[in-house]
Amino acid sequence: MSSAKIGTHNGTFHCDEVLACYLLRQLPEYKDAEIIRTRDPVELARCDIVVDVGGVYDHKQYRYDHHQRSFEETFNSLCPEKPWVTRLSSAGLVYLHFGRRILSHLTHLAQGTTQLEILYDKMYENFVEEVDAVDNGISQYDGEARYTVSTTLSTRVSHLNPWWNSDCQDTEEGFNKAIALVGAEFLDRLQYYQNAWLPARVMVESAIKTRHQVDASGEIVLLAQGGCPWKEHLFLLEKELVLDITIKFVLYPDQNGQWRVQCVPAGLNTFHNRLSLLEDWCGLRDNALSEFSGIPDCVFVHANGFIGGNKTKEGVLEMARRTLQASY
């Protein structure tokens, strides 16, 4: 049994210190650490590492509080090579300093590898940063919300605290449940990004590098397998590979053994396309579409022109080529 002690505050708990404690327990030196929930400075001084309490941020002393008036640190301020400017919570501080070791331990990927660094960035941007922002009261957007989101991880953690009017105000049971909840979700996302999202990047990169074998224009890529989450990878890889022309269409097989041609959107969060399928095809199906387009075996083109289908790979390729030719 480890004699290590992790210190954090007692009373009502939030998602950031729960996640910070969970993350630290993934490290060998804190695997069996006792979590001391107190605000007593004497007790905290006996802890090996302290998060979210104590009024001190000092990595050399293993102290990771963010509540002091002077604290304004972000990922970018501490690691200028990273872009995120959300004010850090205790979770973000622990992740920034220990995240690579934690992910290496959980994934068995060596530190310093490209894959681990990609996962390190992805898990901050798509998991930890939200916890930082919520704990620091940073709104996701300006203006009044159209609806309430009440199922976030931070909200579900807060629901594990005792009700204000409960006879029992002991928070220990809820805190332990919160660590299990946060840990399960962290591992779920990490396993997805390692075992599904990263392999998708490999597939998209290969498709981009061989795109001229599909069509001389270099504006059409072909994925060997459908269902692959390609959009984010495609945008990032276009920049990394410094392509001389943007990709307009992605071809892939669907679950029924037929083929799809999908337009590349102008960005991740928009329904506008770099180039939509021909407007005259939109909303047509089957024989009507095949006869009108002159392309055999057509299945459909969506009314908004962002995706189409054909029974064969050659068919979707011809649909993309015809659209490109009309745009020149």
pLDDT digits over 190-200, tens only? 999 999 999 99
Q: Let me know if residue 152 belongs to a domain.
A: no
pLDDT at 170: 92
Share of the chain above pLDDT 70, in %: 99
Chain-centroid distance of CA 72 in Å reads: 24
Whether the pLDDT of residue 40 is over 90: the answer is yes
Is residue 307 situated within a structural domain? Answer: yes
- Position 141 scores a pLDDT of 82
Question: Quick one: 177 and 41 in the same domain?
Answer: yes
207 in a domain, yes or no? no
**Same structural domain, 104 and 223:** no
Whether 242 contacts 209, CB under 8 Å: no
Quickly state the pLDDT bin for 67 (edges 50, 70, 90): very high
Q: So what's the pLDDT on residue 86?
A: 96
Residue scoring higher pLDDT (215 or 328):
215
Average pLDDT over residues 146-156: 88
Mean pLDDT for the stretch of residues 3-30: 95
Q: Are residue 180 and residue 217 in the same domain, yes or no?
A: no
User: Is 162 within a domain?
Assistant: no
Query: Is residue 206 over pLDDT 50?
Result: yes
Give the pLDDT confidence score for residue 181 in this predicted structure.
97
Tokens 């909840």, located at residue: 181
Tell whether 104 and 177 lie within a shared domain: yes
Once rounded to an integer, what is the mean pLDDT over residues 91-97? 98
Same structural domain, 20 and 133: yes
In the structure, what pLDDT confidence band is assigned to residue 323 with cuts at 50, 70 and 90?
very high
Buried b (16+ CB within 10 A) or exposed e, 275-308: bbbbeebbebeeeebbeebebebbbbbbeebbbb
Return the percentage of the chain with pLDDT > 90, whole number. Answer: 92
Could you tell me the pLDDT band of residue 1, with boundaries at 50, 70 and 90? very low
**Residues 227, 191 share a domain:** no
Q: Does 232 reside within a domain?
A: yes
Give yes or no for residue 13 having a pLDDT over 70: yes
Mean pLDDT value across the chain: 95
Same domain, 122 and 263: no
Could you tell me if 99 and 247 lie in one domain?
no
Bridge pairing between strands 63-64 and 49-51: parallel
Task: Read off the DSSP letter of residue 66.
Answer: -
User: Which residues have a Cβ under 8 Å from the Cβ of 88 and sit 6 or more positions away?
Assistant: 66, 73, 74, 75, 78, 96, 132
Confidence of residue 160 (pLDDT cuts 50, 70, 90): very high
What's the token pair of residue 94?
A: 């622990």
**Closest to 268 measured CA to CA, from 238, 317, 233:** 233
Supply the pLDDT for residue 136: 93
In a domain, 54, yes or no: yes
Query: Residue 6's beta-bridge partner residues?
Result: 35, 49
CA dist., res. 84 & res. 80, Å (int) = 9
Are 259 and 316 in contact by the 8 Å Cβ rule? The answer is yes
243 and 305 in a common domain: yes
Angle of the 15-24 helix axis to the 90-107 helix axis, nearest 10: 30
Are both 99 and 218 inside the same structural domain?
no
Question: What mean pLDDT do residues 93-121 have?
Answer: 97
Is 202 inside any structural domain? no
Domain count for the chain: 2
Domain that holds residue 232: 212-327
Quick: pLDDT tens for 219-273.
Answer: 999 999 999 999 999 999 999 999 999 999 999 999 889 999 999 999 988 889 9
Predicted confidence (pLDDT) at residue 50 exceeds the cutoff of 90: yes
| Per-residue pLDDT band at 139 (split at 50, 70, 90) | confident
Would you say residue 90 lies in a domain? yes
Residue 2 reports pLDDT greater than 70: no
Which residue, 43, 47, 41, 46, is CA-closest to 6? 47
Same-domain status, 188 and 248: no
**78 shares a domain with 224:** no
